Structure 1
Amino acid sequence: AQVVCRQLGFRATGAYYRGEAFFGRGTGNIVLDDVSCVGIETALYRQCHHRPPLVHDCTHNEDVGVVCPEPFDGSVRLVGGSNSSVGRVEVYRSGSWGTVCDDYWDYRDASVVCRQLGYGSGTVLTNAHFGQGTGGIFMNEVACTGYELFLTNCSHTVNHNCSHYEDAGVRCSQTCFDGSVRLVRGSNSLEGRVEVCRNGSWGTVCDDSWDNTDATVVCRQLGLRHAIGIAYFGAYFGQGTGSILMDDVRCTGSELNLTSCSHTTFHNCSHSEDAGVRCSYICFDGEVRLVGGSSSLEGRVEVCRNRSWGTVCDDSWDNIDATVVCRQLGLGSTGTAFSSAYFGQGTGRIVMDDVGCFGSESNLIDCYHTTNHNCDHYEDAGVRCSYICIDGEVRLVGGSSSLEGRVEVCRNGSWGTVCDDYWDTNDATVVCRQLGYYVTGTPYSNAYFGAGAGSIVMADVRCTGSESYLTNCSHRTNHNCVHSEDAGVTCAGSGASVEAIIGGVIGGIVFLIVVTAVIVICVVALNSKSSHSRARARQAAPAVQMTSIPHKLLVLQLELIHNPSLRQKINLLLHLTQII
């Protein structure tokens, strides 16, 4: 019963069955008999044990039924199709189902929907192919990489100008697509026996030479980019069936897909040697994330401390604090504060209270705060970010990781694309350098990472390769291009080279000196003003900050490595100080 409910997009916990044709006798064939599920599967027919189809000793007096509890936020379902694998895509949010607008809807989005429902690859259908839905349109401009576990994890907007005649649909294949991976027979979606798709069928991986580096590549391919993989051997998650497709796997750790790793297809293995993985997400102290919002721009604020997530109490929480959170996440320069667990109550520890930011901090934990509190989770703080990009910024969109994608440039506060006329390695390398990746970039043309939208802001780009910013390269703004010519880039390598780290630390030191000087000036000014409690709290910040500079350098160094947007902004700041 749990598997059926999960496959239909409902909660599995609390599901129960009704036997003896409780909901009435069916007609036609009885397809399955002796069904035996562990309870963690996502597809009844494909993953649970049962007799061969149509083989049974039953009558319709024994037809089984299921009662499912309410679905959870982020559930998806297919409506209006001829069977459960086709239909209009609907998403559950805050107690109701809504549709998805078909703007930018493509095969990667469809495949995420199908995978979430336990199917294989997906085919896109648009223009309300399965009929128009009703109620809200919950998602627009969906842009999945193809590796997300849930559709709501994909980049999307909640604001739209769509009507229901634009409702998106999918047709899911019962077969998988080559190179995809899945985890089977684990206790949750983060662990299990590793299975790889080849020629439309799933097979296992032999555990010869299997290690944590290989496991981490699997986790990354599944969309868990910051997870650390733990390798398991000896069919720890149970023996698979069918072919053993890979042996002697040796990943370097930089691969985006398991099949890109060195391996052999010939083997002397049995299924008692099937490899497994557990993906363990370990955050970096000082990281922040937004949870429970309707888009990636809003949510409950959670902060990483001692490698686990905790919430922030809303005492003294205001828009200045919210803005620091948005800036740290690279989501623009304006934040709106929410209190009283507006985005839902968190769990675990409350790690910050009485937060008092000046507004110039790069990280929330750099703000004055206390760790002792008298708060409860109904006081969890939240944020909504208004994203306005800075002219000259670049970003990569539509790739399978932060190292690749369609090149977009900010102009007049909006993102636009780059035409691929004359686009070459020099141009790609400048983009990578601006993002903080000190590697040779690989250029892509003809909208390799998908066609963008909006303006095409640069054409005929001709970089020498020594420029720090793409907009410093020779280029034109007038063009005769279309979005099928959008340029793309892959920044090969880890993206955190020695040069990047050293440069980042030096930049961080300069940045901290500037910020510390500003703080000292502010403290002098504050001493002559009122002794309001909030001001006193903020005045205490410099003493804490100036005595913990080594800690902040470490935090800043980690953030520089893992946040290309921050590296880019610090480089822009240093460039401006040199001009001044």
Structure 2
Amino acid sequence: MREVKVVCRELDFGDAVAVSEGPLIEEGRRGVAIKSRRGHGSTITESGFREGGPGYCDGRNYHYVICSDLQAQSVSPPAEFSVRLVNGTTSCSGTVEIFYRGEWLGLCTSWWSMMKEVKFVCRELDCGNPVAESGGPLVEDGKRRVILDRCYGNEYSIRHCDFIREPGVCIGRNYHQVTCSESVRLVDGAGLCSGRVEVKSNQSWASVCEADFDRQDAEVVCGELGCGAPAALQGGLYGEGEGQTWDKEFQCKGKESLFLDCDTSDRENNICLPGNAVGLTCSEPDDVRLVGGGSRCAGGVERYDQGEWRTVGAEDRDQTRTNVAAVVCRQLGCGSNVSALPGNTTRGNSIICYGSEPSLRDCYRMYDILPGLTVICSDLLVQPDISLTDSMGGVSRGHQGPEVFRDYSFTITCSTQPQYPGGSFLLTFTGSNRTQAQPAVNHSAAFLFPAADDSHQGNYRCVYENYVFSHNFSSESGLLTLTITASPLPAFIIRHVVVLLILLTAITTSYLYYKPTRRQKRVNRVSSMDRYVNAMEMVSLSSRAEAGPGEERAAQGTE
């Protein structure tokens, strides 16, 4: 009691009332050993410590102290099954421990859900939403731990969950580390990423008025809670709450890591009318993917966990695989589950879902290593494109979409991104059973209409169909709304004009080509005649020279 009196005095908690000894910390852990003290010093440090610094001692030498001044600080033992987080970076993160029969014990469980057990831990500690959880050998194997069976989600606190009352021994992989948000949370929503925005101020939670909150503020909140981008923002979306209303206006830039890091300013109007407590829906986190299936909606399931992509495993039961696959397809926005089969070689941590959870992190997580899971979702094929072209200038852009002149030809082309070979396209016409089908060639197909008439007016859609993974899949394009209008001139006149223009162009081209050629031929003929005349004159002169003067005169007389 002498040392205990010094502790109470140093803490200004009055005199020592009681002290107990027990295995409050595991045996074999290092502790600080002090020398004996008569209780006259003012601080425990004046007692002096044994030489050699911290050493090892058995658990019975650790002490639990009760001082007399209960007004200064309550020192009554925590309630049975109270929760705390130790060895974390903040007061809302760390390894989970449960107070049981006078001592703090680690929590051991095979079932662990962010939406249930982790949410209870965060709530009991007056923290915000669950952000992350992990399991591993955080403490030594072979030590006694409180064993939790499971929580069902409707309990008031974690102490009302199913515990195995006698502490037991479990392997280290089942101990859990939790991270909760500290200063912001979403409440009364359907999952971890939706609810009414509440901010912690002066140890109490306050709702936020819609007028003081914008999309940039929402981006910071969603990011701090480990969710995706904001999807919906509306006052009164998740009720009003029962506490106070935050009296500042947030001015986030959208890049802050914590919501309370954002700038604030005084609110212009201190009144937040009923129905204006802001509700926020964030998209689910981008922490799940399907790989190796040729599409973002097919392949082996992987989840981003503790800084890396890890394989997700599932029990070899049809319903278990189907439930997990339903959640995966929903989170990825890939429609519904079509097929869920065991993976070929890879193995991963087991996930158990009910099938209605909004994301995979809301499911139960187990640390058994089971075969991986291959999932095929209904929206396997990407959405095809639809376009309109013509070869005669008969298509124009109207107020309600493309317009085609009556009696003109036009072509509707369906195309899709390269995913799988083969397939076919259907061109459907809204309001009738008229369809056309063509095989996909180079992932496209063209549908020609030789002459537009009023029956062609309406809405068109391309449907791409393909048989892959032993199932038929289809994907529809958006609507193409087509209007048929009268042309400025009758089509047959324009056709004749076009033909005449083509003929005129051909004639002009031929004329311009052959005219220089004929001129060159005439020049060539004149040049040849001149050369012939010159040659004959030369021959004549040569003959006269050889005949002599007498013959030349005779020739002249003859002439």
Q: Give the TM-score taking structure 1 as reference length.
A: 0.30
Structure with the greater alpha carbon radius of gyration = 2
Q: Give the TM-score taking structure 2 as reference length.
A: 0.31
